[in-house]
């Protein structure tokens, strides 16, 4: 029998214990559990890995504390420009959107790009028009407003004025990977990108092969971290290639990328990944990563810091 499994993340980075209260930690953990339960229950009913990862990511997009959907950060001009991607490992079909505003659930739009358009990636106004045509819920700016994010943006703006080499580590993302009862793998990732981003900056999340990748021949991967570095390592696809062409295990391949290749170019972050045997890896080289998994061995775990 094929094992079922789902793993999710809510972003990696400098998650300071000093900023974490027991109440806040409980909120994060409850949101992670809700997303896991949502995705896993679909798998348990015979649903596809694609539907499971999309559903889990939508739960996290609706939760204001994660940087995706409702909780997306402010860009340089005070807007919420979001990116998302989804990939079906059974036939390598994929859908992605970049630089979109107003769409309540960017992952739902990415899924429709995959299933109802002849393209893989749509950006900006065109992608928003496609969302309207597909009758996806669209929200006013106020839906995405969050006082804490606003303050983060104000700080980033102020630092920009005084410091050109300002290193903004205020990122975050949500993502999911899953293995379904038919043995199919899927990955989904959604993000608001980096606080105060300019010039239409797009990170790794919507780039197939970088922040998001799935192939039934190897694994499904969803990344979080400093996107530019994940694009340069072609993270998701490289992990898949190490498994497919060199015979590395999921954990070995993830270790090479997250703890060696990424580190060598100064990259920080992590990922969740699952292979076709149901093995799950959740490596990160940052201080913490909101993460969790649930599988048909009856195991469920959520965590934030290093164990
Ligand atoms: N990877 C995302 C980006 O660079 C951000 C993150 O995962 O924290 O847009």
Select the more confidently predicted residue: 31 or 13.
Answer: 31
Q: Does residue 195 belong to any structural domain of this protein?
A: yes
Q: What is the mean pLDDT of residues 290-296?
A: 97
Residue 236, both tokens: 């998701």
Ligand 1 — pocket residues by CB below 6 A?
Answer: 11, 171-173, 191, 193-194, 203-205, 211, 224-225, 227
Q: Is the dihedral of CA 18, 16, 106, 178 positive or negative?
A: negative
Asked if the structure places residue 50 within a domain, the reply is yes
pLDDT of residue 14: 75
Q: Are 293 and 279 in contact (CB under 8 A)?
A: no
pLDDT of residue 120: 98
The answer to whether 235 and 228 are in contact (CB under 8 A) is: no
CA of 12 to the centre of ligand 1 (A): 9
User: Does some domain include residue 35?
Assistant: yes
Report the 3 state secondary structure along the chain: CCCCEEEEEEEEECCCHHHCCHHHHHHHHHHHHHHHHHHHHHHHCCCCHHHHHHHHHHHHHCCCCCCCHHHCCCCCCCCCCEEEEEEECCCCEEEEEEEECCECCHHHHHHHHHHHCCCCEEEHHHHHHHHHHCCCCECCHHHHCCHHHHHHHHHHHHHHHHCCCCCCCCCCCEEEEEECCCCCEEEEEEECCCCCCCCCCCCCCCCECCCEEECCCCEEEEEEECHHHHHHHCHHHHHHHHHHHHCCCHHHHHHHHHHHHHHHCCCCEEEEEEECCCCEECCECCCEEEEEEEECCCCEEEEEECC
Is 157 domain-assigned?
Answer: yes
Q: One of 173, 189, 191, 233 is an active-site residue; which one?
A: 173
Q: Is 173 a catalytic residue?
A: yes
pTM score: 0.96
Question: Where residue 216 sits, what CATH number does that domain have?
Answer: 3.60.20.30
Of the pLDDT bands very low, low, confident and very high (cuts 50, 70, 90), residue 229 is: very high
CA distance 273 to 186: 10
* Mean predicted confidence (pLDDT) in 283-293: 95
Angle at which helices 49-61 and 106-116 pack, to 10 degrees? 150
- Residue 224 CA: nearest ligand 1 atom is 7
User: In this structure, is residue 229 part of a structural domain?
Assistant: yes
Angstrom distance (rounded) from CA 199 to CA 75:
10
Mean pLDDT over each residue of the chain, to the nearest integer: 93
What ligand 1 atom has the least distance to the C-alpha of 211? 1
The residue to mutate among 170, 188, 269, having the most atoms of ligand 1 within 8 angstroms of its beta carbon, is 269
- Show the domain range for 253: 5-91+146-305
Residue-level pLDDT at 164: 27
In DSSP terms, which residues pair with 98 in a beta bridge?
Answer: 123
Q: What is the pLDDT of residues 230-240, one digit of tens each?
A: 999 999 999 99
Domain count, the chain: 1
Angle (CA) 175 180 181, round 5°:
170
pLDDT of residue 170: 52
Q: How far is the CA of 1 from the centre of ligand 1 (A)?
A: 36
Is 86 within 8 Å of 111 (Cβ atoms)? yes
Q: Is 191 exposed, middle or buried (0-12, 13-18, 19+ CB in 10 A)?
A: buried
Q: What mean pLDDT do residues 286-297 have?
A: 95
pLDDT digits (tens, 9 = 90+) for 240-284: 999 999 999 999 999 999 999 999 999 999 999 999 999 999 999
pLDDT given for residue 171 in this prediction: 58
Write the pLDDT tens digit of every residue in 5-14: 999 999 998 7
155 belongs to a structural domain:
yes
Ramachandran assignment for 82, one of left (phi > 0), alpha (psi -120 to 50 degrees), beta (any other): beta
Q: What is the pLDDT of residues 140-191, one digit of tens each?
A: 999 999 888 888 888 888 886 432 222 345 557 999 999 999 999 999 999 9
Q: For residue 123, is it within any domain?
A: no
pLDDT, tens only, 103-115: 999 999 999 999 9
- Computed on alpha carbons and rounded to an integer, the radius of gyration of the chain in Å comes to 18
Residue 248 counted as domain residue: yes
């Amino acid at each position: 029998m094929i094992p079922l499994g789902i793993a999710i993340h809510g972003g990696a980075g400098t998650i300071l214990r000093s900023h974490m209260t027991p109440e806040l930690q409980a909120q994060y953990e409850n949101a992670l559990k809700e997303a896991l339960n949502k995705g896993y229950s679909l798998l348990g009913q015979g649903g596809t890995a694609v539907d499971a990862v999309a559903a889990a990511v939508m739960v996290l997009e609706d939760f204001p504390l994660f940087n995706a959907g409702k909780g997306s950060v402010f860009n340089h001009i005070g807007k919420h420009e979001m990116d998302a991607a989804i990939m079906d490992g059974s036939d390598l079909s994929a859908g992605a959107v970049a630089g979109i505003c107003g769409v309540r659930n960017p992952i739902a739009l990415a899924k429709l790009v995959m299933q109802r358009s002849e393209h893989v990636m749509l950006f900006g106004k065109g992608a928003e028009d496609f969302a309207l045509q597909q009758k996806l819920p669209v929200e006013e700016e106020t839906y995405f407003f969050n006082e804490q994010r606003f303050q983060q943006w104000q700080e980033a703006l102020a630092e920009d004025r005084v410091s050109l080499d300002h290193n903004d580590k205020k990122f975050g993302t949500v993502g999911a990977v899953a293995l379904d009862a038919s043995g199919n793998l899927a990955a989904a990732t959604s993000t608001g990108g980096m606080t105060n981003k300019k010039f239409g900056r797009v990170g790794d999340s919507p780039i197939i092969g970088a922040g998001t990748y799935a192939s039934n021949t190897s694994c499904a991967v969803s990344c979080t971290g400093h996107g530019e570095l994940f694009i340069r390592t072609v993270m998701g696809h490289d992990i898949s290639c190490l498994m497919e062409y060199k015979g590395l295990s999921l954990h070995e391949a993830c270790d090479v990328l997250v703890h060696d290749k990424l580190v060598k170019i100064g990259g920080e972050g992590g990922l969740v990944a699952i292979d076709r045997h149901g093995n799950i890896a959740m490596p990160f080289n940052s201080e913490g990563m909101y993460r969790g998994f649930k599988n048909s061995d009856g195991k469920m775990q959520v965590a934030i810091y290093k164990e």
